[in-house]
Amino acid sequence: MSTPILEARGLTRVFRVGGFTNRSELHAVDDADFVINESEIVALVGESGSGKSTIARLLAQVYTPSSGEILFQGTPLPQLRSRHDQMRYRAAVPMVFQDPFSSLNPSYRVSHGILRGLKLHRPDLDASGRRAEAERVTEVVGLSPASEMLEKYPYEMSGGQRQRIGFAQALAYRPKVILADEPVSMLDISIRIGLLNVMEKLRDDEQVSLLYITHDIASARYVADRMMVMYAGRVVESGPVEEVLQESEHPYTQLLVAAVPDPRTKLTMTAKQAAGEPPKVVNPKPGCRFADRCPLVREVCRHVTPPLLELQPGHEVACHVAAENAGRAEDSMGAAA
Amino acid sequence: MSESNATASATASESTTPSDGSSGAPLLEVRGLSVVYETSSGTVTAVDNVDLTVNRGEFVAVVGESGCGKSTMLFGIAQLLMSPAKISSGEVIFRGENLVTMNDKELAPVRWRNLSVVMQSAMNALNPVRRIGAQYADTMKAHGVKSKATIRSRSEEVLALVGIDKIHLESYPHQLSGGMRQRAMIAMALLFAPELIIMDEPTSALDVVAQRSLMLQIKELQQQLGFAVLFVTHDMSLVSHFSDRLLVMYAAQEVEFGETRAVFDAPKHPYSEGLLDAFPSIRGPKVPLIGIPGSPPALSAMPPGCRFEPRCPLAYADCKVVEPELYTVDDVLARCLLYSPDHRPKEPAGPIDPTAKGSEP
């Protein structure tokens, strides 16, 4: 297998919270291992506060990891020290933001952001080359005629069109992985699908990978190849999207799947099941963080943190019960088994 | 009242609620309601001639995209509109009285006692610097409850109904999670056991799991206490399992209104159909979806014919010029020329529902 574009090993980010006397540590992301390969869409799903956006910001170098490392095409990020390397990384891993209404500068035409990015990241192009490339990426994201669209101001565009400009900007840098943090959640239902189709097109025609961060599992299934589920700062399950959804191993994934409103099927969930909220991960003790809400909870779950184990090829789960069912109890529970 | 009461689905009848005697009439009847915004560049109609009924104990959902007028309509019904918005025509008959013609003094006894409102963002609707209990007490005092003991016991009761420990009467809103805040708002709406609760996207700030649990709880409370719900959301799939009837709005108008199941199983209006098709499913085969290309018209520049025509996959010549009315199709009302007696296309252009189409009169 070739080197993944991005790889996280034991990625952890801790925030200090509280005042002078009661300082404590909030574990936003804890010990996350994952890879993003070429031309694939990886969905990162979970409730708000589960650490999804923190992962995106770690990958975009907005935050530095507290421990663990991120590898870009095999090279740890801290080794990309020269300006040239840094620019290369930033161009290769751009971000698309949630709110298309505040992420574009209202006083410039939309071409401004795209052309600036091109000037910075594509020094090989002259002015007319930049213009041509700007028009090309605008066409790719489904805005045509591109020459007219580029001359518009953000207020002249609908939310869906603005978000397409967001993707066009990212695409102009010739990226490897686009970090899309809830790119469609601010958009109306009727235009979301259009954006998801753009993401698929970027993967298929432009060979770009995407990290699609969302809490909308149905849309994740629609576009993604693989899915990672996060709960309270930990990756609890990851694998091919159909496997994770149809043969969920982790009880939290099962709960999430049951909670998705689907008009085509019967309701399968009761209020009791849905009760409870994800914990705040302040000064965490060892143990499974889902234990308090888990219907399958055992004594061991409260003391031993379940590691992410590959129970089937490509399908990883962090759950003692699932591990035991797969005959891997010892790997999961360690000495407690 | 203990917490277990919240889960016991006792179907208490509405007999305890003060009735105005007209048992056959709907609880809420909206007739020809229009709301306009007076702007510097002219008057725009945000709600255009909407008819709507809510029966006692019924759950009616209103869905539509942002900017289609659904929240404005709710505010119009609850008489909460503020300038520059105002009701330009129509009546809102609630328990036999027309709310539109009543002044604030006449509305005061009806508000909260008979009709309460749950807003979209509980964080903004609750006062951040007062404890939950104090806010409940304010509400009850404003409506004439003086006894401290009564206030205390009723506050504890409603909190128990939504499954929150009474200890949180002493909490400030920021100490509660998003889901709990929204529950606390719903509990507040229940203080006087009203007959109608108007909910404006109460779950849209929540996660799927919290959203689902809140919806289940609203439904349980409704069965238990017998109030009616008018529920606004942009998420059609959310209400599919909970509402009795569904109103689909587009560009200030109602475009489809009928039994929820009927609308979901066989949507009559191409817009409803498009909305339903915009939801990827998490089960079954993966199918490519297209959503609805384009965006809704600006309220100040409505297309002359059907307002959905510029985005409609089934549009034909007449749609550009003839404004459709609401036509009755299989017990569902739909605003689409496909069902009009005079303007149907010569050859059926890609029928929406092949089974119903051929037998249309």
| CATH, residue B195 | 3.40.50.300
For chain A, give the secondary structure using H, E and C. CCCCCEEEEEEEEEEEECCCCCCEEEEEEEEEEEEECCCCEEEEECCCCCCHHHHHHHHCCCCCCCEEEEEECCEEHHHCCCHHHHHHHHHHCCEECCCCCCCCCCCCCHHHHHHHHHHHHCCCCCHHHHHHHHHHHHHHCCCCCHHHHHCCCHHHCCHHHHHHHHHHHHHHCCCCEEEEECCCCCCCHHHHHHHHHHHHHHHHHHCCEEEEEECCHHHHHHHCCEEEEEECCEEEEEEEHHHHHHCCCCHHHHHHHHHCCCCCCCCCCCHHHHCCCCCCCECCCCCCCCHHHCCCCCCHHHCCCCCCEEEECCEEECCHHHHHHCCCHHHHHHHHC
State the pairing for strand pair B28-39/B42-54: antiparallel
In this structure, the answer to whether residues A168 and A179 fall within a common structural domain is no
Q: Where does B88-131 have alpha helices with state H?
A: 104-107, 122-125
Split at pLDDT 50, 70, 90, the class of B236 is confident
Sequence-ordered list of residues with C-beta below 8 angstroms from that of A234, at least 6 positions apart, any chain: A30, A31, A32, A51, A289, A318
Distance CA A159, CA B84 (A): 25
In this structure, the answer to whether residues A122 and A168 fall within a common structural domain is yes
Q: How far is B208 from chain A (nearest CA, A)?
A: 6
**Helix pair angle (A159-172, A127-140), 10° resolution:** 130
Q: Which residue from B minimizes the CA distance to A188? A: B65
In this structure, the answer to whether residues A213 and A241 fall within a common structural domain is yes
Cβ pair B275:A264 closer than 8 A: no
In this structure, the answer to whether residues B232 and B165 fall within a common structural domain is yes
The reply to whether A1 falls in a domain is: no
Q: What local confidence, expressed as pLDDT, does residue A317 receive?
A: 95
Q: Which residues of A touch B (CB under 8 A)?
A: 47-48, 158-160, 188-194, 196-197, 215-219, 221-222, 245-246, 255-267, 269-272, 274-275, 277
Tens of pLDDT, residues B300-350: 888 899 999 999 999 999 999 999 999 999 889 999 999 998 888 765 555
In this structure, the answer to whether residues B239 and B282 fall within a common structural domain is no
Angle formed at CA B11 by CA B7 and CA B16, multiple of 5 degrees: 115
In this structure, the answer to whether residues B174 and B54 fall within a common structural domain is yes
In this structure, the answer to whether residues A157 and A182 fall within a common structural domain is no
Q: Which residue from A minimizes the CA distance to B261? A: A263
Q: Does B177 touch chain A (CB under 8 A)?
A: yes
In this structure, the answer to whether residues A168 and A181 fall within a common structural domain is no
**Of B163, B178, B293, Cβ closest to residue A194:** B293
Share of chain B above pLDDT 90, in %: 55
In this structure, the answer to whether residues B89 and B198 fall within a common structural domain is yes
The reply to whether A232 falls in a domain is: yes
Q: Which of B204, B208, B271, B286 to mutate to test the interface with A (most CBs of A within 10 A)?
A: B208
Tell me the residue range of the domain where B82 lies.
4-18+26-243
Q: How far is A70 from chain B (nearest CA, A)?
A: 29
Which chain B residues are closer than 8 Å to A270 by Cβ?
Answer: 216
- The domain boundary residue, chosen from A129, A157, A174: A174
Q: How far is A257 from chain B (nearest CA, A)?
A: 8
The reply to whether A330 falls in a domain is: no
Q: How far is A87 from chain B (nearest CA, A)?
A: 36
In this structure, the answer to whether residues B75 and B132 fall within a common structural domain is yes
Taking only the tens of pLDDT, chain A with its 337 residues reads 578 999 999 999 998 877 677 778 888 999 999 999 999 999 999 887 788 889 999 999 999 999 999 999 999 999 999 999 999 999 999 999 888 888 899 999 999 999 999 999 999 999 999 999 999 999 999 888 899 999 999 988 888 899 999 999 999 999 999 999 989 887 888 888 889 999 999 999 999 999 999 988 889 999 999 999 999 999 999 999 999 999 999 999 998 888 887 776 666 666 555 566 667 778 888 899 999 889 899 999 999 999 999 999 999 999 999 999 999 888 888 766 5
Structure token digits, residue B336: 């689409």
**Of A194, A262, A264, Cβ closest to residue B291:** A194
Q: Which of B209, B219, B259 to mutate to test the interface with A (most CBs of A within 10 A)?
A: B209
Q: How far is A327 from chain B (nearest CA, A)?
A: 29
In this structure, the answer to whether residues A249 and A119 fall within a common structural domain is no
* Mean pLDDT value of segment B133-140: 94
Q: What local confidence, expressed as pLDDT, does residue B346 receive?
A: 67
Cβ pair A190:B274 closer than 8 A: yes
Q: Does B313 touch chain A (CB under 8 A)?
A: no
In this structure, the answer to whether residues B233 and B148 fall within a common structural domain is yes
In this structure, the answer to whether residues A259 and A116 fall within a common structural domain is no
In this structure, the answer to whether residues B181 and B302 fall within a common structural domain is no
Determine which of A76-80, B82-86, B355-359 has the lowest per-residue pLDDT on average: B355-359
- The domain boundary residue, chosen from B214, B243, B272: B243
Q: What local confidence, expressed as pLDDT, does residue A61 receive?
A: 92
Cβ pair B282:A217 closer than 8 A: yes
In this structure, the answer to whether residues B287 and B141 fall within a common structural domain is no
In this structure, the answer to whether residues B236 and B263 fall within a common structural domain is no
The reply to whether A166 falls in a domain is: yes
Share of chain A above pLDDT 90, in %: 66
The domain total for chain A is 2
In this structure, the answer to whether residues A138 and A220 fall within a common structural domain is no
Determine contact, residues A238/A33, Cβ cutoff 8 Å: no
Tell me the residue range of the domain where A157 lies.
103-174
Which chain A residues are closer than 8 Å to B287 by Cβ?
Answer: none
Which chain A residues are closer than 8 Å to B70 by Cβ?
Answer: none
The reply to whether A222 falls in a domain is: yes
Can you say whether the dihedral through the CA atoms of B114, B120, B123, B125 is positive or negative?
Answer: negative
Q: Does B212 touch chain A (CB under 8 A)?
A: yes
Q: Which of A188, A196, A266 to mutate to test the interface with B (most CBs of B within 10 A)?
A: A188
Q: Which residue from B minimizes the CA distance to A244? A: B282
In this structure, the answer to whether residues B123 and B45 fall within a common structural domain is yes
In this structure, the answer to whether residues A258 and A185 fall within a common structural domain is yes
In this structure, the answer to whether residues B232 and B267 fall within a common structural domain is no
pLDDT at B239 over 90: no
Q: Name which residue leads in pLDDT, B12 or A211.
A: A211
Split at pLDDT 50, 70, 90, the class of B237 is confident
Q: How far is B341 from chain A (nearest CA, A)?
A: 29
The reply to whether A22 falls in a domain is: yes
**Helix pair angle (B178-189, B132-142), 10° resolution:** 20
Structure token digits, residue A180: 């899309």
The domain total for chain B is 2
In this structure, the answer to whether residues B61 and B135 fall within a common structural domain is yes
Q: How far is B213 from chain A (nearest CA, A)?
A: 5
In this structure, the answer to whether residues A122 and A246 fall within a common structural domain is no
The reply to whether A202 falls in a domain is: yes
Instruction: Look at the pTM and tell me if it is higher than 0.90.
Output: no
- The domain boundary residue, chosen from B243, B261, B294: B243
In this structure, the answer to whether residues A129 and A259 fall within a common structural domain is no
Which chain B residues are closer than 8 Å to A192 by Cβ?
Answer: 278, 291
In this structure, the answer to whether residues A73 and A180 fall within a common structural domain is yes
Q: What local confidence, expressed as pLDDT, does residue B16 receive?
A: 40
**In this structure, what CATH number is given to the domain that contains residue A224?**
3.40.50.300
Q: What local confidence, expressed as pLDDT, does residue B358 receive?
A: 38
- The domain boundary residue, chosen from B196, B222, B243: B243
The reply to whether A311 falls in a domain is: no
* Mean pLDDT value of segment B242-264: 93
